[in-house]
């Protein structure tokens, strides 16, 4: 069910045509290098071209995937689950595709940097200065492999948004937060930087604000997670979930504003309500 796009989210995201075209051309370029290397029997050149082709293709896929704000709701994407205390609630699993692509992107990027360093070392026409450039390339490759390992670890955690009769809980792979409904003071839709000011990217987000930061229980988080901004709120990114972005926001707002209907969250009634889009008002 698709509901009106919240105006606070800003303009509904569009397909990043320029990025897709740019990396699409890059894919063709590296494909030509790979084919040329195989034809000439040059293994290093062939692997270099193949790694560049894979990297460019993954950028195309990731660019296209991350800006799909409208997704249909299906029975398989919203489920009932029982937690360790026996409480039943509805759960929305995070989409895994973008995280898998992120892991592959880091691995292919690391391989591309390694092969770029190897080509510099193996080239007889390069002087010592060009050969020394292989060192930072290899260091960057190691960093890419390390990030891939971190993302792989995050994939093993149960990343989901859980709405129960008593509160909201989100585990995004880096941070597990729980907030009772009674401690929520605002449900703010906005268009913000998901990195807390470390990039220029702006995406639709729902900021669930508590009376006080201490109201948010944080049972677990990754050691490397240092973004203090998102420890004071629960930051929900609609594009991370396999449901329509507007539907997700209006559902959160609906059950926050209607405590008498929260028992529905312990049964299939809430799922049926979401399918109907009956979460306005």
Q: What is the per-residue pLDDT across 222-276, written as a single tens digit (0 to 9) for each?
A: 655 555 555 788 989 887 887 888 888 999 999 999 999 999 999 889 988 888 8
189 and 264 assigned to the same domain: yes
Last residue of a domain, one of 136, 155, 174: 155
- Between 5 and 224, the more confident residue is 5
Query: What is d(CA 49, CA 43) in angstroms, rounded to the nearest whole number?
Result: 10
Instruction: Tell me the per-residue pLDDT of 177-232, one tens digit each, with 9 for 90 and over.
Output: 999 999 999 998 888 766 555 556 677 889 999 999 889 988 776 655 555 555 78
180 and 248 assigned to the same domain: yes
230 and 118 assigned to the same domain: no
- pLDDT value, residue 79: 83
148 and 200 assigned to the same domain: no
Q: For the chain, how many residues are written?
A: 281
Query: What is d(CA 209, CA 134) in angstroms, rounded to the nearest whole number?
Result: 47
Average pLDDT score over the chain? 81
205 and 124 assigned to the same domain: no
Asked whether residue 12 is assigned to any structural domain, the reply reads no
pTM, entire model? 0.69
Query: What is d(CA 159, CA 174) in angstroms, rounded to the nearest whole number?
Result: 9
Asked whether residue 79 is assigned to any structural domain, the reply reads no
Asked whether residue 117 is assigned to any structural domain, the reply reads yes
Domain span at residue 116 reads 17-66+97-155
Encoded tokens for 266: 């312990």
- pLDDT value, residue 75: 41
22 and 143 assigned to the same domain: yes
190 and 229 assigned to the same domain: yes
Last residue of a domain, one of 112, 138, 155: 155
188 and 221 assigned to the same domain: yes
Query: What is d(CA 276, CA 255) in angstroms, rounded to the nearest whole number?
Result: 15
176 and 202 assigned to the same domain: yes
Distances (CA, A) of 128 to 33, 120, 141, 177, 217: 25, 10, 21, 52, 55
- pLDDT value, residue 251: 92
Residue with tokens 């929520």: 184
Distances (CA, A) of 60 to 21, 64, 217, 243, 244: 8, 6, 38, 22, 22
Asked whether residue 8 is assigned to any structural domain, the reply reads no
Asked whether residue 6 is assigned to any structural domain, the reply reads no
142 and 21 assigned to the same domain: yes
Distances (CA, A) of 19 to 38, 46, 110: 28, 25, 21
131 and 176 assigned to the same domain: no
- pLDDT value, residue 34: 92
- pLDDT value, residue 226: 52
b (16+ CB within 10 A) / e for 107-127: bbbbbbbbbbbbbbbeeeeee
What total number of domains does the chain contain?
2
166 and 148 assigned to the same domain: no
Asked whether residue 1 is assigned to any structural domain, the reply reads no
């Amino acid at each position: 069910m698709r509901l009106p796009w919240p105006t606070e989210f800003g303009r509904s995201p569009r397909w990043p045509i320029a990025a897709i075209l740019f990396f699409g051309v890059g894919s063709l370029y590296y494909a030509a290098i790979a084919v040329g290397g195989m034809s000439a029997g040059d293994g290093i050149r062939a692997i270099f071209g193949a790694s560049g082709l894979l990297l460019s293709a993954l950028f195309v896929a990731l660019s296209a995937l991350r800006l799909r704000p409208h997704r249909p709701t299906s029975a398989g994407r919203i489920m009932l689950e029982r937690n360790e205390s026996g409480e039943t609630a509805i759960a929305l699993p995070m989409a895994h595709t973008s995280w898998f692509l992120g892991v592959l992107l880091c691995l292919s990027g690391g391989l591309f940097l390694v092969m770029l360093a190897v080509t510099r070392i193996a080239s007889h026409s390069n002087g010592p200065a060009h050969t020394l450039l292989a060192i930072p390339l290899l260091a960057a490759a190691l960093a890419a492999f390390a990030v891939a390992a971190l993302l792989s670890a995050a994939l093993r955690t149960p990343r989901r948004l859980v709405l129960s009769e008593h509160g909201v809980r989100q585990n995004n792979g880096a941070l597990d937060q729980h907030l009772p409904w009674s401690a929520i003071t605002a449900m703010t839709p906005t268009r913000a930087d998901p990195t807390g000011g470390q990039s220029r990217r702006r995406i639709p987000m729902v900021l669930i604000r508590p009376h006080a930061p201490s109201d948010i229980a944080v049972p677990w988080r990754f050691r490397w997670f240092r973004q203090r901004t998102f420890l004071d709120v629960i930051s929900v990114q609609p594009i991370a979930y396999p449901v329509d972005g507007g539907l997700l926001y209006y559902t959160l707002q609906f059950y926050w504003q209607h405590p008498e209907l929260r028992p529905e969250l312990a049964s299939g009634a809430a799922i049926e309500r979401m399918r109907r889009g009956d979460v306005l008002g």
